[in-house]
């Protein structure tokens, strides 16, 4: 496990989530939920803010969890959230290019988190020397 990289992903996720709570158009635009002028309808913003809070909370958990099972759990929740987003985007986002971009972004974050979770220092073994 690369704890440092998991912490960086957590910090980035927290920052994005907090920003998206204040500016839900950051979530709305990439998936085609913003209006023609780029603004976000108040009902759309209301529906997107819980996702932003989820990202902020999950990122904060990755940032602050002690190394070990708590950090692994926080990372697993992040991965599950991103995969869930990818499935949702793949089924609902209109426009082929926009859908592909939204799915790729969600899966990219999931893959980065999974790589940090699975990665670590390689284990070396020493071969026995013949006598």
Q: Is residue 45 part of a domain?
A: yes
pLDDT band at 127 (very low <50, low <70, confident <90, very high): low
Q: Is residue 125 part of a domain?
A: no
Name residue, tokens 């609902």. Answer: 92
Q: Is residue 126 part of a domain?
A: no
Name residue, tokens 């002690």. Answer: 66
Name residue, tokens 């996702």. Answer: 51
In this prediction, residue 124 carries a pLDDT of 47
Range of the domain at 47: 3-34+41-118
| Euclidean distance between the first and the last CA atom of the chain, given in angstroms as a whole number | 37
* Contact (Cβ atoms closer than 8 angstroms) between residue 1 and residue 16: no
How many domains would you assign to the chain? 1
**Stronger pLDDT, 126 or 110, i.e. the higher one:** 110
CA distance 17 to 107: 17
Dump pLDDT digits (tens) for 42-87.
999 999 999 999 999 999 999 999 999 999 999 999 999 999 999 9
* Contact (Cβ atoms closer than 8 angstroms) between residue 30 and residue 101: yes
Q: Is residue 73 part of a domain?
A: yes
Q: Is residue 127 part of a domain?
A: no
């Amino acid at each position: 496990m690369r704890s440092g990289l998991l912490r960086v992903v957590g910090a980035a996720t927290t920052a994005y989530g907090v920003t998206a709570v204040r500016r839900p158009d950051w979530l709305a635009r990439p998936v085609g939920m913003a209006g023609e002028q780029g603004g976000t309808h108040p009902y759309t913003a209301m529906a997107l803010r819980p996702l932003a809070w989820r990202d902020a909370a999950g990122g904060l958990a990755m940032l602050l969890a002690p190394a070990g099972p708590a950090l692994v759990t926080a990372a697993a929740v992040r991965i599950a959230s991103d995969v869930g987003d990818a499935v949702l985007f793949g089924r609902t986002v209109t426009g082929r290019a926009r859908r592909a971009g939204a799915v790729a972004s969600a899966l990219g974050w999931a893959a980065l988190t999974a790589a940090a979770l699975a990665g670590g220092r390689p284990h070396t073994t020493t071969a026995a020397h013949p006598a």
